[in-house]
Structure 1
Amino acid sequence: EGAKSLADALKVNQTLTTLDLAGNEISDEGAILLADALKVNQTLTTLDLQHNQISDEGAKSLADALKVNQTLTTLDLQYNQISAEGAKSLADALKVNQTLTTLDLAGNEISDEGAILLADALKVNQ
């Protein structure tokens, strides 16, 4: 419910540039709601979602948002539950996103496979 309220506010907010939600257990459900907001928000530049029990489903939704969002420069997803599948979604987004400059995935389980996919995406990310 809290994540939904925040997401709804982000859809219309025109001033907030940084949102730190670290350690709030928002899970995939909250990540999906926030991702929907990121698709229309035009002011947020930094989103901290570390330690939030976000798995591949949430990562995929955030990745979909990154494909259209043109303002977010920093996304912190440290210490969630993202595997190679989620890394693949994020890698696909990085191929088209031109504004994100910092993506922190420390403490996840992306494995060698996920790391390779991200590395390949960075080769084409301009």
Structure 2
Amino acid sequence: MTLTTLDLGYNQIGDHGAHHLADALRDNTTLTTLDLYNNQIGDKGAQYLANALRNNTTLTTLYLYNNQIGDEGAQHLADALQNNTTLTTLNLYHNLIGDKGRKYLVYALRNSMTLTTLKLDVNQIEGLTAQRLTDVPRNNMVIFVLS
């Protein structure tokens, strides 16, 4: 039996736990969905996960909703998206991402050929800039979820 989905929601793994998961994710060749909702992961944890995404070639779905990821973490994830060739869904619902983080993600989306769903609602993105996010010229079709 092969593990393809891992749900670790509500485990309070924090940045330290994200570091260990990222180490395992770098070399993993079977996991396609990783759900880390409500785990107190901040910018440092997002950086660890982003570093793993640069090398991982199987993960298609990453749920990071209801964590503590801010603009710095969004920048790390955006940088990883430019190199990752498999991630199709990134859920960043209910984090601390503001307009600065939005800019990083928009830049990455211009070059991403695989991401099809980005969920950013319940963050700290202002209404006007949230509207501008949906107007990004891109090479692929992306579904933004903003409310």
TM bin, normalised by shorter chain, reads over 0.9
Determine if the alignment matches structure 1 residue 46 to structure 2 residue 56.
no
- The share of aligned pairs that are identical, in percent, is 55
Structure 1 residue 109: Cα displacement: 1.2
Using the size of structure 1 for normalisation, the TM-score is: 0.94
Q: 1:59 aligns with which of 74, 90, 98?
A: 74
- For 1:117 and 1:39, the matched residues in 2 are separated by 27
Greater RCO (CA < 8 Å, at least 6 residues apart): 1
Q: Secondary structure at the match of 1:124?
A: coil
Deviation at 1:119, TM superposition (A): 2.5
Q: 2:39 aligns with which of 19, 24, 27?
A: 24
Matched, 1:125 2:139: yes
Q: Determine if contact 1:91/1:117 at 8 Å carries over to the other structure.
A: no
> Corresponding residue for 1:114?
129
Deviation at 1:10, TM superposition (A): 0.5
> How well do the aligned residues superpose, as a CA RMSD in angstroms?
1.1
Q: Distance in 1 between matches of 2:34 and 2:130?
A: 27
Match of 1:68 in 2: 83
Give the distance between the partners of 2:51 and 2:132, measured in 1 at CA: 24
1:91-115 deviation digits (Å, cap 9, x = unpaired) = 0000000100010001011113532
- 1:66-98 superposed Cα distances (whole Å, 9 cap, x missing partner): 001010000000000000100000000000001
Q: How far is the alpha carbon of 1:118 from its aligned partner?
A: 1.8
Instruction: Write out the 4+ residue segments of structure 1 that deviate beyond 6 Å after TM superposition.
Output: none
Once the 2 structures are TM-superposed, how far is the Cα of residue 52 of structure 1 from its aligned partner? Answer: 0.7
CA contact (8 A) 1:56 1:83 kept: yes
Runs of 5+ consecutive residues of structure 2 not aligned to the other structure: 1-15, 141-147
CA 1:61–1:117 in structure 2 vs 1: closer, same or farther (change >3 Å)?
A: farther
Q: Structure 1 residue 80 and structure 2 residue 102: aligned?
A: no
* Structure 1 or 2: more helix by fraction: 1
Distance in 2 (CA, whole Å) between partners of 1:53 and 1:46 is 19
Q: Hey, what's the Cα distance between the residues in 2 that align with 1:17 and 1:114? A: 31
SS of alignment partner, residue 118 of structure 2: strand
**Based on CA coordinates, which of the two structures has the bigger radius of gyration?**
2
1:117 Cα shift?
4.2
Equivalent residue for 2:110? 95
Q: Figure out how many residues of one structure are paired with residues of the other and give that number.
A: 125
